[in-house]
Chains A and B, each alone.
Chain A
């Protein structure tokens, strides 16, 4: 039975930390029993190492086989995202394209300072006048269009009123005619009654 502070088999099998190993080594120097045990373990390990590794009789190699490989798209995708250099290049290329497109498409690309520095001050004033004229013309066109729309609405409203007025007039005329007819009929009835009544009265008296 070993009295070593740590298991001598762990020491031989190299499972101890450096401080633990040093403690064991110090102990072995002063303990004959543990030293003899350590010697037997060391000889056993050395004997085991006499069994050498063999060379593999046949090398193993795989050939490219579509069955075991991912699809070309997946390989390309994985290769792209797996490459920092490619990602960086692609990002830089996209940024460059974006800058060029922005510079070309941007309508107010030139700042006033840039234009002034070109020395074409007359061109700037002419451009400003033209812009003012265009704005004025656009405002006038908009006002004229608005007035035209208002006039059209007004005319339409007048026409509607006239049409309604005419319609009412016709209805009133119709009513007047009907009233006149009724009045004439009543007069005839009254006239007939006044004619026949005296004759009956006269005959009744007889």
Chain B
């Protein structure tokens, strides 16, 4: 008997043929990451959970359209990005996308008025992220917390790599001013 780790690509091929269990295993591997991505760009746990469910439902329905199983992650996050911005538009249809802001408070992500991040640094990070534009924040989330490359981010956000870099560099300039001194104090 040979033990071999089941790759995502194997699960994707099985799920594309209608194997629900294979897709459930795939969901279990990705749900936390997708949920946290959506949590950080929406700022609301309930929205993030609802959107995560919608994302995986759409992914299952459209899995046969995924030509290259190796590109599953950018493809999945592209769905998540579209779902989140679709929700933003429904709630504030008259607003420009660049003006859309998450619904969390400026002290961090909240549910029922309770603070999610008790530590000082975490609060500072959450506050600094709130000062970014939605596009800058999403770029930081995709790069720092999800670990995507510039090319993958461009695919997810449907924009040129140069735009991705521009957003990320601008975000880092702002975050550097806010966070570097705090982190330096904590480190010393």
Task: Point out residues on A near B: beta carbons under 8 Å.
Answer: 9, 13, 15, 40-41, 43-65, 68-70, 74-75, 78-79, 82
A75 to B184, CA, bound (A): 58
For residue A43, which residues in chain B have a CB less than 8 angstroms away from its CB? 179-180, 183-184, 187
For residue A51, which residues in chain B have a CB less than 8 angstroms away from its CB? 117, 122, 125-126, 129, 145
For residue B57, which residues in chain A have a CB less than 8 angstroms away from its CB? 62
> In the complex, which of the residues B18, B117, B149, B187 contacts A15, with contact meaning CB atoms closer than 8 Å?
B149
Kindly identify, within residues 27 to 47 of chain B, every residue whose CB is under 8 Å from any CB belonging to chain A.
27-28, 31-33, 35-36, 39, 45
A54 to B104, CA, bound (A): 16
> In the complex, which of the residues A40, A46, A56, A64 contacts B35, with contact meaning CB atoms closer than 8 Å?
A56
> In the complex, which of the residues B119, B145, B149, B172 contacts A41, with contact meaning CB atoms closer than 8 Å?
B172
> In the complex, which of the residues A57, A60, A79 contacts B17, with contact meaning CB atoms closer than 8 Å?
A79
Report B153-185 CB contacts with A as 1/0, cut-off 8 Å. 000000000000000110010011001101110
Known: A44-B179, A55-B32. A69 touches B20 (CB 8 A): yes
Report B113-148 CB contacts with A as 1/0, cut-off 8 Å. 000110101101110010000000000100111000
For residue A74, which residues in chain B have a CB less than 8 angstroms away from its CB? 18
Nearest CB of chain A from residue B140's CB, rounded to whole Å: 7
> In the complex, which of the residues B18, B144, B172 contacts A69, with contact meaning CB atoms closer than 8 Å?
B18
For residue A52, which residues in chain B have a CB less than 8 angstroms away from its CB? 122
Task: Decide if the interface of chain A is mainly helix, strand, loop or mixed.
Answer: loop
> In the complex, which of the residues A48, A50, A53 contacts B119, with contact meaning CB atoms closer than 8 Å?
A50
For residue B36, which residues in chain A have a CB less than 8 angstroms away from its CB? 53-54
Inter-chain contact B56/A60, CB cutoff 8 Å? yes
Q: Does B75 contact A (CB under 8 A)?
A: no
- The 10 A-B residue pairs whose C-beta atoms are closest, nearest first, are A47-B179, A47-B183, A43-B183, A56-B35, A43-B180, A40-B180, A78-B17, A44-B176, A50-B121, A53-B36
Q: Does B105 contact A (CB under 8 A)?
A: no
For residue A41, which residues in chain B have a CB less than 8 angstroms away from its CB? 172, 176, 180
Residue on B nearest A67 in the bound complex, by CB: B61
Nearest CB of chain A from residue B15's CB, rounded to whole Å: 10
A6 to B149, CA, bound (A): 17
A56 to B45, CA, bound (A): 9
